Chain A
Amino acid sequence: MSGNIKVAIGVVLVAVVIGGLYYWYSSTKSDVAPAVVADQTATPAPTGPTLPSGSDTSDTALGQDVASVDADVSAMTSDTASIDSGMNDTAVQQ
């Protein structure tokens, strides 16, 4: 009889220990933050051209703005030359 009681107490103790371990495991597992996955699909949009003076509308600012355009307007000549060069290209005779 006393042997059965000892077995019963042993089973209860094992059950308590297993239950405690399970509770501890469950509680610590839930504390782990999910991994943050960076959004790999997001593609930064082109910044596009801006004016050097920002939103300033003063005469000085307008002068700076048109000066920044002048550099691009001058470069347009080389663009046309590049198109012509590409269109008039001839292969080295093999």
Chain B
Amino acid sequence: MKKITSALIPFIAVALLLSPSSVRVVEAVSATTNATVNASAPGVKAEGTASLSASQSIALMRGKDKAHQEIDRRVTNLNALVLRVQAMLNLSEADKTAIAGTLTAQVNALNALKAKIDADADPETLKGDVKSVTDSYRIYALIIPQGAIIAAADRIVTVATKLHLISLKFETRIAAAATAGNDVKAVRVTLEEYNSKIANASLQAQAAVNAIVTLVPDDGDATKKAANIKALKDARAKIVLAQKDLQTARKDADKIITALKGMKVNSTATTTAETSAGVGQ
């Protein structure tokens, strides 16, 4: 299970920092932000606005509205992913801060682009900015499902770890019950299935993360895009399998608890006391 945790880290670098498209978007935003300063010069802006026809002004407004919608939607989803990352239990605070910081940088870049679009008075400049919104979608379209899969794997690790810790308690209780003379064959079989489901869930979650952690944005390459989609779908299928395994294990836990209750072995202390008393008789 620790492997999953370590596999989460490259997600930051591979999916975001080292992505050529990501760099281009940041550069584009940086360039357009600089352009905003120039376009905001009173004389230039007045001249640009005055030269637009009514239809051009309407087209400009529509273009800005659509760009706003797209940017706002992405910012909302990226912020949601930041919150989800911060809620992960199997990452260190430093790692969470690093991932959240990178995602927040993307949010800031989009907000800067939005501000630039707001200030655009020239249709050609706006067209270029809108194109950067479209181009950056390839990064966003990968980061969001990639992050969601990693977050799902993190929760699977959390559940598997808890169930494993409960399994250790089951072992203690079953051993005590056996010592007390109870027939524990059936409950041991259930415990074996329970442990097997937990182990398989962990393997599936690990495989899901491994399948998507090295993916990079397609940059318009249809073959790469198809490969990314296939990898994401495969990873999703593994996540679903892992979740089903954990649900089965959870049901097994109920069976084991019920069986242990029937054996009248309530706690370690009680069991120890009862066993000692039984031995003394």
Seen from chain A, the residues whose Cβ lies within 8 Å of a Cβ on chain B are 43-51, 55-59, 61-63, 65-66, 68-70, 72-73, 75-76, 79-80, 82-87, 89, 91-94
Residues 106-160 (chain B) with a chain A CB within 8 angstroms = 130-131, 133-134, 137, 140-141, 144-149, 151-152, 155-156, 158-159
- A92 engages B92 (CB within 8 Å): no
* 13 interchain pairs, CB-CB under 8 A: A44-B93, A57-B267, A58-B270, A59-B261, A62-B257, A66-B166, A69-B159, A69-B162, A69-B250, A73-B250, A76-B152, A82-B84, A86-B147
Separation of A46 and B268 alpha carbons in the complex (Å): 29
Contact present for B141 and A89 (CB under 8 Å): yes
A71 CB → nearest B CB, Å: 10
Residue of A with least CB distance to B253: A66
Which of A44, A48, A75 makes the CB contact (< 8 A) with B155? A75
* Cβ-defined contact, B148 with A83, below 8 A: yes
Name which of B67, B145, B260 has the most chain A CB atoms within 10 A of its CB.
B145
B179 within 8 A of A: no
**Most chain B CB inside 10 Å of its own CB: which residue of A46, A48, A59, A83:** A83
A93→B66 contact, CB < 8 A = yes
Structural contact, A72 and B162, CB atoms closer than 8 A? yes
CB contacts (< 8 Å) of A79 on chain B: these are 148, 151-152, 155, 239, 243
List the 6 closest pairs (A to B, CB-CB), nearest first.
A86-B145, A58-B267, A79-B152, A86-B144, A82-B148, A92-B70
When the two chains form their complex, are residues A43 and B94 in contact, meaning their CB atoms are under 8 A apart?
A: yes
B71-109, CB under 8 A of A: which get 1 and which 0? 001000100000010000111111100000000000000
Instruction: Tell me whether B173 is interfacial, beta carbon within 8 Å.
Output: yes
Chain B: number of interface residues, binned into ranges: 35 or more
Cross-interface CB contact of B166 among A62, A80, A82, cutoff 8 Å: A62
Tell me, yes or no, whether B266 is within 8 Å of chain A by CB: yes
Q: Which residues of B contact A (CB under 8 A)?
A: 5, 63, 66-67, 69-70, 73, 77, 84, 89-95, 130-131, 133-134, 137, 140-141, 144-149, 151-152, 155-156, 158-159, 161-163, 165-166, 169, 172-173, 229, 232-233, 236, 239-240, 243, 246-247, 250, 253-254, 257, 260-261, 266-270
Residues in B neighbouring A57, C-beta threshold 8 A: 169, 172-173, 267-268
Task: Give chain A residues whose Cβ lies under 8 Å from the Cβ of B131.
Answer: 94
* Docked complex Cα distance between A17 and B74 (Å): 77
In the complex, are the beta carbons of A94 and B70 less than 8 A apart?
yes
Give the shortest distance, in Å, between B33 (CB) and chain A (any CB). Answer: 20
- Please give me the residue from chain B that is nearest to A87 by CB atom: B145
CA distance A92 to B66 in the complex (A): 7
Return A89 CB to nearest CB of chain B, in Å.
Answer: 6
| B71–chain A nearest beta-carbon distance, Å | 9
Instruction: List residues of chain A with CB within 8 A of the CB of B246.
Output: 73, 76
